[in-house]
Amino acid sequence: MRAVISVIGKDTVGILAAVSAKCAEYNINVMDVTQSVLQDMFVMVMMTDISKMNIDFARFVDELSALGKEKNLSIRAMHEDIFNAMHTI
């Protein structure tokens, strides 16, 4: 099972570290990261493996969203299937 974590907002120091730390804390493996900065908008997309995570996924979503609020960013974790459903036939 895989999930996509997306981070969108103003670029600040330590975003990648903070999100990866959360993943490590709950045994979520980061498989791939792409990031780009458009003007000062920071966009990061992480593909993660959640099959061995040790937290309820819904709670993980809340924790990331709270972390986002703290850092003034929009951080979402969404099940991979929603992107597959929408963009692949």
Partner 1 sequence: MINQKDILETITMIQDENLDIRTITMGISLLDCCHSDINIVCDKIYNKITTYAKDLVRTGEQIEKEFGIPIINKRISVTPIAMILAACEDKDAVKIALTLEKAAQTCGVNFIGGFSALVQKGFAHGDRELIEAIPEALAVTEHVCSSVNVGSTKTGINMDAVKLMGETVVRAAERTKDQNCIGPAKLVVFCNAPEDNPFMAGAFHGAGEPDCVINVGVSGPGVVRAALAKSKDLDLTGVADLIKRTAFKITRMGQLVGTEASKRLGVPFGIVDLSLAPTPAVGDSVAHILEEIGLDCCGAPGTTAALAMLNDAVKKGGVMASSHVGGLSGAFIPVSEDAGMIDAARNGCLKIEKLEAMTAVCSVGLDMIVIPGDTTAATISAIIADEAAIGMVNSKTTAVRVIPAIGKKVGDELSFGGLLGSGPVMEVNPVSPAKFIDRGGRIPAPMQSLKN
Closest CA to 46 of 63, 21, 66, 69: 21
Two structure tokens written together for 76 = 């979402």
Give the one residue of 6, 11, 20, 29 binding partner 1; rule: CB under 8 A.
6
What whole-number distance in Å separates Cα of residue 5 and Cα of residue 47?
Answer: 7
Number of residues counted as binding partner 1 (CB under 8 A): 26
Candidate residues 16, 30, 43, 67; the one interacting with partner 1 per rule CB under 8 A: 43
Helix (H) or strand (E) holding 78, with range, is strand 73-79
Is 49 a residue that touches partner 1 (CB under 8 A)?
Answer: no
Contact 19, 35 (CB under 8 A): no
Among 16, 30, 47, 67, binds partner 1 (CB under 8 A): 47
Q: Tell me the sheet residues that pair with 2.
A: 49
Which one of 9-17, 21-29, 69-77 is the stretch in contact with partner 1 (CB under 8 A)? 69-77
**4 near partner 1, judged by CB under 8 A:** yes
Distance from the Cα of residue 15 to its chain's centroid = 10
Site residues (CB under 8 A) for partner 1? 4, 6, 8, 32, 34, 36, 43, 45, 47, 57-58, 61, 74, 76-88
